[in-house]
A and B are shown apart, each in its own frame.
Chain A
Amino acid sequence: MQDSLLIKLAVVILFLPLIGFIVTVFFGKSVKKVYVFENLVLIASFILASILLYGKLNYYIDTDLFSEFEWINLGEVPLLGLISIKLGLMLDNVAAIMIWTVMLISLVVHIFSIDYMKGDIRYNHYFAYLGLFTFSMSGIVLTHNILMMYIFWELVGLSSYLLIGFWFEKKSASDAAKKAFIVNRIGDIGMFIGILLLFITYQTFSFDSIFIQLADGKLPFNSEFWLTATGLLIFCGAIGKSAQFPLHVWLPDAMEGPTPVSALIHAATMVAAGVYLVVRVFGMLTGDALLIIAVFGALSALIPATIALTQNDIKKVLAYSTVSQLGYMIMALGVGAYTFAFFHLITHAFFKACLFLGSGSVIHNMHHEQDITRMGGLRKKMPLTYAAFLISSLAISGVPLTSGFLSKDGILAGTYAFASLTGHWLFPLVGFFVAMLTAFYMFRLIILTFHGEPYDKEKYEHAHESKFAMAMPLVVLSILSIFFWYTPNPIDPGEGWVLSKWIKTPEIFTPVETRYDFMKPDENAAVDHSSAVVYSSSYTEAMHNAHYPAMFLSLIVAGLGILLAFLFYQWKRIDPDKLANKFKPLYNLSYNKWYFDEIYDATFVAGTLMLSKFLGWFDLKVIDGIVDGSAAVTKGFSKFSGMFDNIVVDGLVNFIAILSGFVGLIFRKMQTGKVQTYIVMVIFGLVILLFLFKSF
């Protein structure tokens, strides 16, 4: 297998969904069955992605493949020399695994949607949008270039807009779509400025050549501060797209879209793009930048987890848990646990997609009922969904033998090791606390939905297990949530092939003095540059030491969370309502999502609208008023001069006219109408002229 072939394969994978989109959107109206084409395209790209993954991991496991072409050539630019902007693909292990994940989840969502969306008036368009999304997401994954990433970044935003607002007849849906796009844009502006900084520093957008120049010591404005700032600005994009605090508000609203879409975009893939972006630029982030990123991650892990505790909408709970889990990943990246962050990204993608599709299955069969307090007892009616949901919940809670346990434990160990090396003990604290909360709210969800007595008998009676097309994806995804796909040893992820061979911590390119202490190369190891281990041995040691304490602690907190959930809701030993009344302010804070929407509405949105209203008024009244005023003054003046003209000047003219009329009356007599008389007069005139001009 040749590397050029792999790249070509990647190109095909990238563009197949676009073809699917174009065909489906144009023939969506005329050809009823065109959605089949889109599904076939997705199957094809999934197969190709599998081949790609196999080829990459088997033959090129340690080489990154590149391919690029010139997109824009600005020629010989004065002062800067030749500038051209290139686009292209990069295929490393991370990208290969990610593209496979994206394609797999996209495929199962497609298949799930065939039944779920049946009967919708824009059925074909729905699949077209899914194709567009898959295309843009693949672009983000495969790019080697930050401008191209931004391009696909925005395209993903577009497809997300289209899909969230798919049922745009509902005002809440179109509101949510608008909100998602605009909130994402806020983050994107930061990212865009970061890109601008990178470009004016390095005159290129490609990751590799930026890294090479960075390793040579070229910094933005020659200052480490600006390198940190650039990293953080790029991270702004991730804040927006991965719905991190404080821009997380769009994601719960985005649940207005069809549930499979939530599974694909707002749980598994698109929101992961932010994490993926940080993964990509990890090599240029300084210690300070990483620390701030970790803080944002920790906050995003904590706040939505507390909100998820009290939500009653099944999809909202899952949405907040998504934000929380993404916060985990970001935090993990911030503390340097790169491999575990990416690992969690993959495992999370599977089990969260499974959870969402499971909730979709429930919602579908409960006739679009989303309130978990109105469900209950569905375990008997929908055993398969229940099983899948349970496995995924165990995974997200971090129970052993699941994939989630492996990755989450790694992240917690990473924070633990980080704390032991640097003394920031708040990170592991938050990590473990959130792990408990996660276990609690996930099992609250399961118990309220599947256990206990049905709330609405009639709906309960009509509920039934989903058909094959909807059940199959759940099975596939839940099987992928079990440990043995990733490692033979269910308690130590480090022994698995994913972490030992496939994903490695990348080289760090930032100047040594700006890194975390543990990321500085050891003096004795510095000789061996080719080694993939870029952290100092102290980190390896700390990580090793952290492994078992972290694992036990996480087991304990997960168990505690599950136990609490059972106590509250299954066995009803503690009345949640009483507790809620007791801690009314806290409950309200959580129930109302910490009032983020209200605060933003009252400040930024209202402020902008008021400013715009004011400026609209200002423009109409003041600026245009000045224009009209000057026109009025001119007009007044012209009126005056008009009067002057009428009375004085025109009076004079009229007087002359009257005078000449009078004279004319006299001379009228001379107008005989006979030519000859006129000639006589001419002659007299000539004589007079001759007399006047006589020169003698």
Chain B
Amino acid sequence: MEYFPILSLITFLPIIGMAIILFIPKTQTLIIKSLTLLVTGIQVILACFILYYYDYTLGGINDPASFQFIEKFRWIEISGISWIGTIKIDYFMGIDGLSVPMVLLTAIITFIATLSSWTIDRSVKGYFVMFLLLDTGMMGVFVALDFFLFYIFWELMLLPMYFLIGIWGGPRREYAAIKFFLYTLLGSVFILIVMIGLYFSAQETLQDGTKVFTFNLLALMDTGNYLTTGILSPLNPLNLRLIAYIALFAGFAIKIPMFPFHTWLPDAHVEAPTPISVILAGILLKMGTYGILRISYPVFPDITHQLVWYIALFGMINIIYGALCAMAQKDFKKLIAYSSVSHMGFVLLGMASLNTMGISGAILQMFNHGTITAMLFLLVGVIYDRTHTRGLDDFGGLAIQMPAYTGFTMVAFFAAIGLPGLSGFISEAFVFLGAFGVETIRTLTIISTLGILLGAGYMLWTMQRVYLGSLNEKWSNLKDLDIREYLMLAPLSLIIIFLGVYPSAMLDLMTTSVNSMVKFMIDSKAIFSSITGF
């Protein structure tokens, strides 16, 4: 396995699938669907391979030697362009404990979203082409270790998403798609600016001893690589790093989405077709937090330490505000969209703690939220397919008509409100354990615990309005789940229950990395104070 480019394979496999689909006549929808299913299935298998060969003892984060499945070679090399000098960009992929859960999540959720896409009947070929392109973009973000490559994947995913919402979406799809596109594009611009700023601030020493400007994230994490005169160098007296950090953070925060940048989410979710909602909530939202952990934190440890309180504050606002907004919604999908806002707040809070428990809680919450919310959206999709309405007040008593469906809903709902024994609990508990241990954000943490209560409030209220009570006569001939729906929901609920009972399965993957990350953050605090003297 040593030199097998498994990461490239898992990333570009969908592109290959896409190329093949382009040659299939568009009337052969079954073949197109099966091929997509095959491709995503292979991705899941590859992810399992990665898991199997993954070495739990290697930390990663800033140490290139302890990254795994590394693929690195010179990708773009343009020499001697006037004042810019030589441009050298690496094709650099590798994974550590931060990315492994995300790679796994992406593979699983995409596979399930493919199953859920079976009901797409409008221009199927185009849909799956876009779908697979999106898949590559998402996977790429999680394995790229070069900022430039990361950015390319980041942008690559934007376009198919726009079309997927804008063409296959609901009645207000154009509005939602454009809102999503512009919002995230705005974020990308911020990221781009900071990326370029970083590029001209640090130089990497190559093996032959020459120094070149670099996009290599690991090189950017080393304070020794920064030029004294670099724009974003810690030594630069202008101290633009704070502004750069905020810009970068804002870029990622839009994706999370963090209050007050969250309003694209409800619209996008409501209008997107079910599988796209699943991907949006299950994977895309994680990119924001992943980006912060992978880039913002280690590249700007000094600023991170300064701004932790604000990150926690926004986490708290997300939790409480999202929950309260969710309570006010009348549309099932919107409710879940706002619950995502609330749940991603836990991730922010956990990250703000900067200790092992908090950060592993945050990553675990990312994974768990991915599975739980994906399941919630699938569940909404199930009744939407049957009834073509999503109004919470249009239903009632579905538990009588669809017991199996209600059973799955219970699993998802109770996981979402953090019931022990289901995966949501562990991550929330870890987030709180971590955040509570930090003195500065303790008060915020205590306020955030209200989120657990509010979560129970809106989820159970929804439960009551949709599933309990007497059956609405209109729906007296609804059918319970079919085989395909079982296939989508059962694996997710198994994951949820398994991780609830045995969270170590996921936590062990990340502990070494999280520990080395925390260590890195602590060490770099000392390094920075010795450099800059604050």
Contact = CB atoms under 8 A, between A and B. Distances in A.
Given A182-B460, A627-B263, A77 B518 contact: yes
Contacts of A23: none
A549 interface: no
Nearest to B399: A168
B260 interface: yes
Interface in B457-489: 457-458, 460-461, 463-464, 467-471
B170 interface: no
Contact of A169 (B356, B469, B503, B504): B469
Contacts of B449: 189, 192-193
B414 A182 contact: no
A182 B456 contact: yes
Interface string A152-194: 1111001001000100110100110110011001101100110
Given A29-B403, A78-B356, A175-B464, A73 B511 contact: yes
A623 B265 CA distance: 13
B151 to A, nearest CB: 24
Interface in A73-109: 73-80, 83
| Chain B interface mostly | helix
Interface stretch (A474-482, A497-505, A607-615): A607-615
B446 to A, nearest CB: 6
A178 B413 CA distance: 13
Contacts of A608: 324, 327, 454, 457
B420 A154 contact: yes
B263 A624 contact: yes
Contacts of B461: 178
A151 B421 contact: yes
A432 interface: no
A693 interface: no
A619 to B, nearest CB: 5
A77 B517 CA distance: 10
A623 B260 contact: yes
A74 B357 contact: yes
A168 B419 contact: no
Given A174-B464, A178-B461, A150 B515 contact: no
A670 interface: no
B420 A619 contact: no
A196 interface: yes
B356 A613 contact: no
A83 B356 contact: yes
Contacts of A619: 263, 321, 325
B130 interface: no
A72 B355 CA distance: 16
Interface residues of A, number: 55
Contacts of A193: 436, 446, 449
A495 to B, nearest CB: 42
A516 interface: no
B258 to A, nearest CB: 12
Contacts of B437: 200
A155 B453 contact: no
Interface string B508-534: 100110010011001000000000000
A77 B262 CA distance: 34
A154 B470 CA distance: 27
- A150, A193, A617, A626 pick with most chain B CB within 10 angstroms: A193
Contact of B515 (A76, A616, A624): A76
- A29, A76, A617, A626 pick with most chain B CB within 10 angstroms: A76
Contacts of B515: 74-78
A696 interface: no
Interface in A245-294: none
A74 B507 contact: yes
B203 to A, nearest CB: 30
Contacts of B503: 71-72
Nearest to B356: A77
B268 interface: no
Contact of A154 (B324, B425, B426, B468): B425
Interface string A619-635: 10001101100010000
A202 interface: no
Contacts of A27: none
A76 B59 CA distance: 12
Interface string B354-386: 011100100000000000000000000000000
A123 interface: no
Contacts, number: 147
A165 B468 CA distance: 9
A653 B177 CA distance: 33
Contacts of B518: 77-78
Contacts of A624: 263
B511 A196 contact: no
B19 interface: no
A185 B457 CA distance: 9
B450 interface: yes
Nearest to A161: B460
A182 B468 contact: no
Contacts of B235: none
Contacts of A181: 456, 460
A199 interface: yes
Nearest to A26: B407
Contacts of B445: 196
A615 B321 contact: yes
Interface in B256-278: 260, 262-264
A623 B457 CA distance: 24
B329 interface: yes
B182 interface: yes
B48 interface: no
A613 B328 CA distance: 5
- A75, A80, A150 pick with most chain B CB within 10 angstroms: A75
B35 interface: no
Nearest to B406: A168
Contacts of B360: 74
B452 interface: yes
Given A74-B507, A192-B449, A609 B327 contact: yes
B263 A623 contact: yes
A75 B419 contact: no
Contact of A189 (B264, B450, B504, B519): B450
Contact of A158 (B183, B326, B419): B419
Contact of A168 (B262, B469, B511, B519): B469
A178 B459 CA distance: 10
Contacts of A616: 324-325, 327-329
A26 B420 CA distance: 21
Given A174-B468, A612-B328, A616-B328, A74 B511 contact: yes
Contact of A627 (B179, B328, B454, B470): B179
A177 B433 CA distance: 29
Interface string B337-350: 00000000000000
B226 interface: no
A153 B360 CA distance: 24
Nearest to B320: A615
B327 A150 contact: no
B328 A615 contact: yes
B364 to A, nearest CB: 10
Nearest to A148: B420
B400 interface: yes
A196 B433 contact: yes
Contacts of B325: 612, 615-616, 619
Given A151-B425, A182-B453, 15 more contacts: A77-B515, A78-B515, A147-B429, A154-B421, A161-B460, A169-B400, A192-B429, A200-B433, A200-B437, A611-B324, A612-B327, A612-B328, A623-B263, A627-B263, A631-B179
24 contacts: A74-B515, A77-B357, A77-B515, A78-B522, A79-B355, A83-B356, A83-B357, A151-B420, A154-B420, A158-B419, A169-B397, A169-B470, A171-B469, A175-B464, A178-B463, A199-B436, A608-B457, A616-B324, A616-B325, A627-B179, A627-B183, A627-B263, A631-B179, A631-B182
- 4 closest A-B pairs by beta carbon, nearest first, are A616-B328, A151-B420, A612-B327, A168-B468
